[in-house]
Amino acid sequence: MRFPDPQLSAFRRLATLALRHLPHTHPAYRILWSSTVCHTDWFVFLDDLEYRFHPAGCGNRFCPSCARDWSDDLRSRLTPVATSIRPRRLRHLVLTVVSAPSGKLSEYLSQMMTCFRLWKDAGRRGTTRSRTNDAIKTNAFLKPVSGITSKIEVTWSEKGWHPHLHCLLDASRFDCEKGDPARETWTTITGNHMAKPATVVDVRRCDDNIAASAECAKYCMKPFSPKQFTPERLAELCVATFHRRLTASSGTLHIPTLPDHSHGCEYIGTIRALANIYSSTHSGKLERNVAHAALRAFQRRYSSNPDAVAGLPDYILNM
């Protein structure tokens, strides 16, 4: 069992401040609110008369602890796929766009994904469009590519937001030097659909497929830094990525979905809810017995570990 990131407390405080920049009716408000109580409770399951406990995370892909879990889950699914590719066929491609000023991240992410879709279409069909909608012939540079997986990553610098795409390609050949169709097509398309054309495109042949999959599956935001983030930036980041798919895959690099390992386990409740049931005078005898058994099992397992119980009130550990 891995416990919350040491920076989680600072992130929870930042999320609390970020809530002030969103109306209560905004869909992303719920995600930020969940971050304010991330890992302050535990889910309790019963599996063949044995209690199992899982930290109640917020699911925010930018939370220090939940982002790590998200990255590990993606890597566990991507690594077996990447290692099945023959050596020297895997390429790591990075596609960039111009930096987005504060307040424009959502717009720039949508434009970047439109450009990426058009770039893939051009690479398969061998044609693209100019700013005046004239057809431009280009080489079908994606024909040697039999599989592709992509992931959005966002960083912040003094120039603003920097959204970009990390891609893994399963290709017999793929060139992206200056003057090559893949690079020139990306520059043309971004010039047509964004404020400025993108000129930075990088592709490298991967000698280690496992390391390449780990690089592509890493955090969708650089590790949390309280000095880098402000409440306004966190709110904008959550709004811009709300209900936005950050990963995609196809062909020989299709990422499978993991089976549900909780099948067969009975969900009992959360530690806080069970503590309320046990201490309530209105609870029935059976409910109190179930709650007491789960709380005692939790105390025996984790009461001596301060990292595990850091978010729980003391009275729960003394019941």
Q: What is the pLDDT of residue 1?
A: 45
How many independent structural domains does the chain possess? 2
Residues 6+ apart with CB under 8 A from 268: 44, 45, 46, 51, 274, 290, 294
Same domain? For 163 and 311 the reply is no
Same domain? For 205 and 90 the reply is yes
148 found inside a domain = yes
Same domain? For 164 and 298 the reply is no
Range of the domain at 79: 72-227+243-251
Q: What is the pLDDT of residue 101?
A: 93
Residue 127 contacts residue 136 (beta carbons within 8 Å) = yes
Same domain? For 142 and 277 the reply is no
Same domain? For 79 and 218 the reply is yes
Angle between helices 64-83 and 8-18 (to 10 degrees): 110
259 found inside a domain = no
93 found inside a domain = yes
pLDDT tens, per residue, the chain with 319 residues: 455 566 788 888 899 999 998 888 888 888 888 888 888 888 899 888 888 888 888 888 888 888 888 888 889 899 999 999 988 899 999 999 999 999 999 999 999 999 999 999 888 887 666 555 555 666 788 888 999 999 999 988 888 999 999 999 999 888 777 778 889 889 989 998 898 998 878 888 888 999 988 888 887 776 666 667 889 999 999 999 988 999 999 999 999 876 555 556 888 888 888 888 988 888 888 988 988 899 889 888 887 877 677 667 777 767 6
Same domain? For 100 and 129 the reply is yes
